[in-house]
Amino acid sequence: MQKRILIVALIIAGYFLLIRPARTMFMSWQSEQVYSHAISEDLEITFEYRPTAIGFTYSLGGVESEGMYKIPFGRYFLLALTGSLLMGLSFKDAAYLVYIHGLGFVLLNVFLYTGLYAYLPLLFGADLLSEYLIPLSSFGIILLGMYNKRSVGQNLSDENK
């Protein structure tokens, strides 16, 4: 148990010292690109900058829509990773969490840039992923890991009978 607590403490320190500043730097670079493209193309869209998110509002056909683009590997990643390790789940489950956030990052950028360069309503794919699907998947990994751990335990006890 002490080993797991030490690993969780290192993960938390690594998150605040490495991942969070990297997310902020990437977001400031990306927001400059997004703003400059929106201004150069004279898009009917407004942005709200936050350190790790871009809020957007646009009007299409007289209907105003708003959404959010957040970079993965945020607080849901940290909570799910530390929670899964403290519950005694395997490092394989933690790797799945990293895969989900990595894939989410790629898909978010596809939706963001496709929405900006081709069809504005696709920006809501980014909103859907960053607000709902990635956080839900993060905590779903914990449930899946607990289920797998329980299933393996039941299979071992069945074999011992």
What is the tens place of the pLDDT at every residue in 30-43?
888 887 877 777 77
Domain boundaries, the chain: 2-160
8 A C-beta contact, residue 16 and residue 73: no
What is the tens place of the pLDDT at every residue in 68-105?
888 899 889 999 999 888 888 778 888 888 999 999 99
Q: What is the pLDDT of residue 148?
A: 79
pLDDT score of 161 more than 80: no
Q: What is the pLDDT of residue 14?
A: 93
Using CB atoms within 10 A of its CB, is residue 111 exposed (0-12), middle (13-18) or buried (19+)? buried
8 A C-beta contact, residue 117 and residue 38: no
What is the tens place of the pLDDT at every residue in 103-115?
999 999 999 889 8
3-state SS class at 74: coil
